[in-house]
Structure 1
Amino acid sequence: LPCPAPAGSPPFHAYGPPGRRASAVDGRSGTKVAIKKLYRPFQSQILAKRAYRELRLLKHMKHENVIGILDVFTPDVTLEKFNGFYIVMPFMGTDLSKIMKHEKLTEDRIQFLVYQILKGLKVCHFLLFLFHNLITVWVYFVLPLQILDFGMARHTDSEMTGYVVTRWYRAPEVILNWMHYTQTVDIWSVGCIMAEMIMGRPLFRGNDHLDQLKEIMKITGTPSQDFVQKLKSQAAKNYIKSLPKVQKKDFASVLKHASPLAVNLLENMLVLDVEERVTAAEALMHPYFEAIHDPEEEIEAEKYYETFDNMDLTLDEWKRVTYKEILNFKPLQTSESKETAV
């Protein structure tokens, strides 16, 4: 990852999910940071809009359970030469997927980690944004636990494609390609992550999107006629109707090592019908978290009003507004890196 000053100097050591990311040392403070290079952000209008969205959301987000931004810069000195930029973020510890590969998580630890994830989601949903690609590699282990990556985050009023989520964590409404999701699309992903923590392996492991749907229905059962009628895609309706009837499994028989309260929470998360699926705020109130739930910790963020998701700009216009955001950014002072194990 070639990276100019001021954030640090090579060599950098790549880490984290696939993409243009590296760890570095901030030459001004000596603090270890993470640098993300936006990969070809102005190759198309879609990519330019996505890059602008990520920058705006990261600048706005100030919550202990969601990654923030320390600095943003570009080596390009004029708008005419502007072709890319770098985002500087706090350096995160190892991600959740790596932790689960090397150790068996205890019930108390699972409870704490899921609680932290839900707190982060609650504030994002309060801001009317959802991740819809929340997977174990986007959840990083520091104190407190943090959710990473706004690259594909969207305002809940926006239309979305059905192919943005890693398959095993994909909510059924994404697979069925509904054009408008609710915020509970993320709750399904959290349920998949929680089940994986308990079982030591992913709960639904489909080979493709249709096989993934079959794997889901082996446990949830085939949906009711009322659910099928809610689908906007006639092709999805026809496909569901063609499937053999399957009864819902007892979640306790699938999650054999889970406590009754954990099973009940997952039954409320992994619901096919988005209107019946629990929200982040409701999940935090579940008895499963009674021992650690503290409403005062669930700080609401400043409301976020943004219209760029509905903006239809040319590529040059997206470059101009992004360049302006970078020039106007006031960097935060970095603090000592905390790589505390949870």
Structure 2
Amino acid sequence: MTEYVVTRWYRAPELLLCCDNYGTSIDVWSVGCIFAELLGRKPIFPGTECLNQLKLIVNVLGTMSEADLEFIDNPKARRYIKSLPYTPGVPLASMYPHAHPLAIDLLQKMLIFDPTKRISVTEALEHPYMSPLYDPSANPPAQVPIDLDIDENISSEMIREMMWEEMLHYHPEVVTAISMS
């Protein structure tokens, strides 16, 4: 119900840098941050505000090459990233010494600064660390983009009513259970 729905700690660099074009790779970044949190039992990038968040990311991933900054379409944001002091980064294996090497490999592919070089959702599911849990026939990717066609001015009460109606469509037995109580 608000435009501000992405928690900063899990926000992809392209969102922090106010880039105009972004896609599903923002979700891969967020899942990577959650995965890191599961591995280390604490958030990987607990920024206090946007610029601090970017500094934390660069401190872990290391200073970006010129090629890694090409996706940044905001000149001011690009200048800011270039102004940060050089850092070699921190190897994720040293941050998570007890993690399985395949888990580290997957995490490294999810937390790539440049979204065009980040692993895709399907590639992540097919990664050797995840592949034993992934059945593409049970969870095929959508063939067309999903259009939710939601009116942004809809009230929260109306959304609750629509969700209730949808639930009753798939579980009509709930009405019987409620009327019997």
Decide: shared fold, TM above 0.5.
yes
Residue 305 of structure 1 deviates from its aligned partner by: 5.7
Structure 1 residue 207, shift from structure 2 partner? 1.0
Say if 1:305 and 1:230 are closer, same or farther in 2 by CA, change over 3 A.
closer
Aligned to 1:243: 84
| 1:253 and 2:94 aligned | yes
Between the aligned partners of 1:268 and 1:332, the Cα distance in structure 2 is: 40
After superposition, give the CA deviation of every residue in 1:148-191 in whole Å (9 maximum; x if it has no partner): xxx57xxxxxxxx7x54111111111110112212110000000
Structure-2 residue corresponding to 1:168? 9
Superposition deviation, residue 302 in structure 1: 6.8
Alpha-carbon RMSD across the aligned residues, in angstroms, is 2.9
TM-superposition CA deviations, 1:261-297 (whole Å, max 9, x none)? 0000000000001011011101011010233332222
In the alignment, structure 1 residue 213 sits paired with structure 2 residue 54: yes
Helix, strand or coil at the partner of 1:296: coil
What one-letter code is carried by the residue in structure 2 that aligns with 1:217?
V
CA distance in 1 between counterparts of 2:37 and 2:112 reads 17
> What is the alpha-carbon distance in structure 2 between the residues aligned to residue 300 and residue 241 of structure 1?
37
Rounded to whole Å, the distance in 1 between the matches of 2:84 and 2:39 is: 29
Tell me by how many angstroms 1:240 deviates.
Answer: 1.1
Percent same amino acid at aligned positions? 38
1:276 corresponding residue in structure 2: 117
Deviations 1:114-150 (A, max 9, x none): xxxxxxxxxxxxxxxxxxxxxxxxxxxxxxxxxxxxx
Distance 1:246 1:304 in 2: 39
Q: Counterpart of 1:299 in 2: which secondary structure?
A: coil
What residue number does 1:79 align with? none
Please show how residues 171-182 of structure 1 align to structure 2 within 5 Å.
Answer: 171-182=12-23
Once the two structures are superposed, what CA deviation does each residue of 1:285-324 show, in whole Å capped at 9, x if it has no partner? 1010233332222234574564958x9x9x6xx78xx89x
TM-score, length of structure 1 as denominator length: 0.44
Q: Deviations over 1:84-113 (max 9, x none)?
A: xxxxxxxxxxxxxxxxxxxxxxxxxxxxxx
Q: How far 1:241 moved relative to its partner?
A: 1.5
Q: Please state whether the residue corresponding to 1:297 is helix, strand or coil.
A: coil
Residue in 1 aligned with 2:31? Answer: 190
Aligned residues: 167
Higher share in helix: 2
- Letter of the 1:285 counterpart: E
- How far has the Cα of 1:203 moved from its partner? 0.7
Q: Map of 1:1-342 to 2, 5 A cutoff? A: 164-301=5-142, 303-304=144-145, 306=147, 308=149, 331-334=168-171
Contact kept in structure 1, 2:69 and 2:114, CA below 8 Å: no
